[in-house]
A and B are shown apart, each in its own frame.
Chain A
């Protein structure tokens, strides 16, 4: 079946540093989504991407839909302690259902003040 490879698995950075993480697949997707999960909470949608090559920002977060449609990237600029959490990518194709929504295994981010 389809799989998403998310990397890195974990990151431990200093406050103020920029962060980059990515998600790749052998399959093409028409939608890429990025979620953040804080400790003890459910995931929350950060950014949704619907077009190959699309670059979308949400505050200090920027995500890109890869031109090949097989990958996506998330960047966080000037990290702060509240950025701590697990970041999940997810891929989906048009005409599918939630059964076709595939999640990566997550990138765990730790930020040292």
Chain B
């Protein structure tokens, strides 16, 4: 199994550019989410989805959009990149909420984004 796959692994953008971080999982997980990790800040939730067609905002959603058209894919879109969005982004997935284990996340390897 590939697990959770993120692309690209590294990206450099100029301020104002837009881009999409891709995330795919092959475990048939209902829950998917995006976190950003900054030094000293831990993991902060950007957006999450409890199933295809359903998304919701996390702690730091501004400047980001998501959609969930399929169970497998959960792309994160940066609409107009800003230097404050320089960070490492992680996609994570887990089983649905009816299971006790839905808090047990499987993370991707991360996408390192620099905005100049």
Instruction: List residues of A whose CB falls within 8 A of some B CB.
Output: 31, 33, 35, 40-45, 48, 50, 88, 90, 92, 95-99, 101, 103-106
Contacts and interface: CB of A to CB of B under 8 A. Distances in A.
Contact of A43 (B94, B101, B105): B105
A81 B17 CA distance: 41
Interface residues of B, number: 29
B11 to A, nearest CB: 16
Contacts of A43: 43, 90, 105, 107
Contacts, number: 66
Nearest to A45: B104
Contacts of B105: 35, 43, 45, 98, 101
Interface of B: 4, 31, 33, 40-45, 48, 50, 56-58, 90, 92, 94, 97, 100-110
A41 B104 contact: no
Contacts of A103: 42-44
Contacts of B106: 45
Given A42-B110, A97-B56, A99-B48, A92 B103 contact: yes
A108 to B, nearest CB: 10
10 contacts: A31-B100, A41-B110, A42-B92, A42-B109, A43-B43, A48-B104, A96-B97, A97-B50, A98-B48, A101-B105
A88 B43 contact: yes
B97 A88 contact: no
Given A42-B108, A105-B42, 20 more contacts: A40-B110, A41-B109, A42-B92, A42-B109, A42-B110, A45-B104, A45-B106, A48-B101, A48-B104, A50-B100, A97-B97, A98-B33, A98-B48, A98-B92, A99-B48, A99-B57, A99-B58, A101-B45, A101-B103, A104-B42
